[in-house]
Structure 1
Amino acid sequence: MTAPIDRQKLIPGVPAENHESYLVPGLERGLRVLEVLAAAERGLTVRELAQRIGIGRSSAFRLVYTLRFMGFLEGSPDERVYRLGPRVLNLGFAYLNGQSLIQVAQGVLEALRDATGVSAHLAIRDRRDVLFLDCVQSRSGYLTTFNTGTRLPASVMPMGWLLLSDMSAREMADLYRDGALPARTPDSPADLATLMRNVAQAAALGHVVSRGMVDRGGSSVAAPVFDQSGHVVAAIDISGPDVAFRFDEMDSFYVPEVLKAARAISERLGYFPAA
């Protein structure tokens, strides 16, 4: 029977007494692949990964294949370049929930809810879905139906268009290569070309105002959240029934408040755009 590991020896980066017996080299190299890709500002080839980790190309290929198969990596359309895949989020979701994005955004979302009187949300993209990480419900009684954990197709909603705006046209075409786009309302994009136009418009404007795009009788204002490197990592919105909004103040009040909140969260994540 293997002796239990002395917890005092489990210090990150400090080898235990029986380090060579405990260490799993393949697992270590696989995690190093994830670390290297997380630190890179672009996707990397198998050759580049092998060089940065200090292993042979064939070993690097097997690691990439395994991680790609499990969804921890995504390949470019020609499968030459790889970057982190959405399943990596599952590994750190509990940490995220307690320490990072949700914690960083919580106070800002509450302030946004209090300023506007409308429910505020935080969401990320998980492949084709928008995943709601947090919901701060309105105090007015006009409650939202999008609670924490809700998933909706990214293609049918403004938050999804903002989250997709960080992808290239080729990446989007690969993501929707089967051509299937769900319809939620008559305003839902019916094909990839329309979706790409919506995404491009959302990116150019920097926010999206919706009236009935996701649910008839409902409205929202959405904006992107950027990380330190300038990538879109999340989106926020205020959304609720039409009666929760004063539509004559949409551009003068609600949009600036949402943009201010998105900027505050982005700055807490280290994003400071050039003046």
Structure 2
Amino acid sequence: MNEPTDPRPDPGAAMPDNHEGYIVPGLERGLRVLETVAAAERGLTVSEIAARIGVGRSSAFRLIYTLRFLKFLESSADGRSYGLGPRVLNLGFAYLNGQSLIQVAQGALQALRDATGISAHLVIRDGRDVLFLDCVPSRRGFLTTFNTGARLPAHVTPLGWLLLSDLSGRELAGLYRGVALPPRTEQTPTDLPALQRCVAEAAARGHVVSRGMVDAGGGTVAAPVLDRDGRVVAAIDVSGPDSAFPEDVEGITVPEVLKAARAISERLGHFGSPG
């Protein structure tokens, strides 16, 4: 008997004919509970979880009970709401720490931080989000607002544009078809054509210098990380307040970021310019 192929194909690809037969409904609902609770900025009640995942209150209660028993959820002090428990957090950190990319990139990120004095970050794309795998904070007191495990919508950040550049035009359109693109700043692309232009420009240039694109008063310089086949598998940046960057960003900071991206790419087997 042949093993089933991955039941979650890339965005824009057709589902296998027997997709519904492979799905385990209870597992799917339980994972949706965890995603819903993780996305909330506060604890959620049983009724709120039920409404957000589209099930009845009794079904939500059983899911929550099971996840609490397994320590994937924990209740608030008053027992009325629920947040992530230690077991799911341990899994998350185990996933991040187990990624070889983090070990591969760490030395280059530290060297980049030391050369620029600005916090350096490593990110990957997870669907329509960027996920921060590592952060090497500045030693000069310039605090970073993005730590390991943080997420941002890919469309709001140059890191995301670089990661999205690995998709074909059809894949990019499929990923964002019918999806709202809420702005983070006045420079955020808020529709698919605008996003496509940002992605194309980032790919053509091979790096992005931004001022106030992600946060007002902040700057970033980002570059892609390539694997042995030339695919964009990650991106790095230095980000901080405008005052952390020299006046000649293109002549001073950009070469350092490209150097770090090239060093990481070479350790992944790519021997060419990341741009």
Could you tell me which residue of structure 2 aligns to residue 259 of structure 1? 258
Structure 2 contact 181–189 (Cα < 8 Å) conserved = yes
Could you tell me which residue of structure 2 aligns to residue 158 of structure 1? 158
Could you tell me which residue of structure 2 aligns to residue 210 of structure 1? 210
- Between the aligned partners of 2:162 and 2:93, the Cα distance in structure 1 is 21
Percent sequence identity is: 67
Q: Does 1:74 pair with 2:10?
A: yes
Q: Secondary structure at the match of 1:74?
A: coil
Could you tell me which residue of structure 2 aligns to residue 133 of structure 1? 133
Structure 1 contact 219–242 (Cα < 8 Å) conserved = yes
Could you tell me which residue of structure 2 aligns to residue 187 of structure 1? 187
TM-score normalised per structure 2: 0.68
How far has the Cα of 1:206 moved from its partner?
A: 0.1
Specify every segment of 5 or more residues in structure 2 that has no aligned partner in the other structure, as ranges. 17-90
The residue identity in structure 2 corresponding to 1:255 is V
Does the C-alpha gap of structure 1 residues 101 and 92 become closer, same or farther in structure 2, counting only changes over 3 Å? farther
Structure 2 contact 122–134 (Cα < 8 Å) conserved = yes
Q: Write the deviation string for residues 26-59 of structure 1: whole angstroms up to 9, x where unpaired.
A: xxxxxxxxxxxxxxxxxxxxxxxxxxxxx5xxx5
Equivalent residue pairs, number? 201
How far has the Cα of 1:114 moved from its partner?
A: 0.4
- Between the aligned partners of 1:199 and 1:140, the Cα distance in structure 2 is 32
Residues 43-82 of structure 1 aligned to structure 2 (within 5 Å): 59=2, 63-64=4-5, 67-68=6-7, 71=8, 73-74=9-10, 76-78=12-14
How far has the Cα of 1:76 moved from its partner?
A: 4.2
How far has the Cα of 1:93 moved from its partner?
A: 7.8
- Between the aligned partners of 1:95 and 1:261, the Cα distance in structure 2 is 24
- Between the aligned partners of 2:179 and 2:124, the Cα distance in structure 1 is 22
How much is the aligned-residue C-alpha RMSD, in angstroms?
2.3
Could you tell me which residue of structure 2 aligns to residue 250 of structure 1? 249
How far has the Cα of 1:98 moved from its partner?
A: 3.9
Structure 1 contact 153–182 (Cα < 8 Å) conserved = no
How far has the Cα of 1:178 moved from its partner?
A: 1.5
- Between the aligned partners of 2:189 and 2:216, the Cα distance in structure 1 is 16
Structure 2 contact 185–215 (Cα < 8 Å) conserved = yes
How far has the Cα of 1:78 moved from its partner?
A: 4.8
Runs of 4+ aligned residues of structure 1 deviating over 2 Å after TM superposition are: 73-80, 91-99
- Between the aligned partners of 1:217 and 1:167, the Cα distance in structure 2 is 30
Structure 1 contact 77–170 (Cα < 8 Å) conserved = no
How far has the Cα of 1:92 moved from its partner?
A: 10
How far has the Cα of 1:97 moved from its partner?
A: 2.4
Residues 79-158 of structure 1 aligned to structure 2 (within 5 Å): 94=94, 97-98=97-98, 100-158=100-158
- Between the aligned partners of 1:245 and 1:183, the Cα distance in structure 2 is 25
How far has the Cα of 1:273 moved from its partner?
A: 2.8
Q: Secondary structure at the match of 1:193?
A: helix
- Between the aligned partners of 1:209 and 1:238, the Cα distance in structure 2 is 10
Does the C-alpha gap of structure 1 residues 75 and 218 become closer, same or farther in structure 2, counting only changes over 3 Å? closer
Does the C-alpha gap of structure 1 residues 172 and 96 become closer, same or farther in structure 2, counting only changes over 3 Å? same
- Between the aligned partners of 1:76 and 1:252, the Cα distance in structure 2 is 40
Structure 2 contact 262–272 (Cα < 8 Å) conserved = no
How far has the Cα of 1:272 moved from its partner?
A: 1.3
